[in-house]
Structure 1
């Protein structure tokens, strides 16, 4: 005996909506895992709840590369430009600040007397 069809519309009751979200999210992740294993596909699923909480899933083959590589492949295959020059310059600035932060942390460790073997 099959289940009856439901009308696809927003669930008004918040607790019912949360339960449905959790169950359907689990089902979606299960299907993503299955297609990754069965078809040796790179699969990534990103879900944001209505509260803004992030849920993500990556097949083991995709784990190392994650979102940047997937977005790059999407951009190449679809021809849609996701990252314009402004975003690239912001990304470069973030990388520069990260390097500067790493150097400052090393310098701070040296000032504390830690990791002195790396000093010249």
Structure 2
């Protein structure tokens, strides 16, 4: 005989309700025990009858330990959720503030570029002009510094080349026979010789008349 499906609603008959409670209670406690043994799980069941009588089962030695563990678990989970919600709210606020700052920076950049000036007052225009002047002054100062550095580098390079040329010239003059061994030294020696043997057209007296 197939057992019919029982409709889940309060049993109105007191005797039937008490019988059903006793059967279902014993079955629930048995299932809890089987679950704890088969799955090595910590199980606790607390039942209060309609008249307030307590029925309980705990796989632990004391049901209070299981209750304390449950409280700690639920407290940790609630704390985690609270902290997570606060972190999300903080990140949302930071995102909103960052978007506002980016928008203000974009507006300021457009104004510095000469755009969107129609709504600016005289004071704002003056402020933008002063800011541009300070920027130009900084750019000019940096440009002058770069030029000075480049000039100093070239001057140092020039001094180094002059010192090298002087050393080569002195070496050529000290050893005339070896001047041809180095093309650069030979050229320097040749220029030095020509500079000492140049004939000039200088004479003393009145110029001759044709």
TM-score range, shorter chain: 0.5 to 0.7
- Report 1:4-83 matches (<5 A): 4-59=4-59, 62-63=60-61, 65-67=62-64, 69-79=65-75
| Secondary structure at the counterpart of residue 3 of structure 2 | coil
Q: CA deviation at 1:43?
A: 1.3
**Higher RCO (CA 8 Å, separation ≥ 6 residues):** 1
Local SS of the residue matching 2:42 = coil
Structure whose CA Rg is larger: 2
Equivalents in 2 of 1:2, 1:30: separation in Å?
Answer: 24
> Which of 11-20 and 70-79 deviates more?
70-79
2:70, 2:2 → 1: CA distance? 37
Gaps of 5+ in 1: 82-120
Is the Cα contact below 8 Å between 2:45 and 2:58 reproduced in 1? yes
CA distance in 2, matches of 1:66, 1:34: 17
Query: Unaligned stretches of 5+ in structure 2?
Result: 79-210
| Equivalent in the alignment of 1:111 | none
Q: Which has the higher helix share?
A: 2
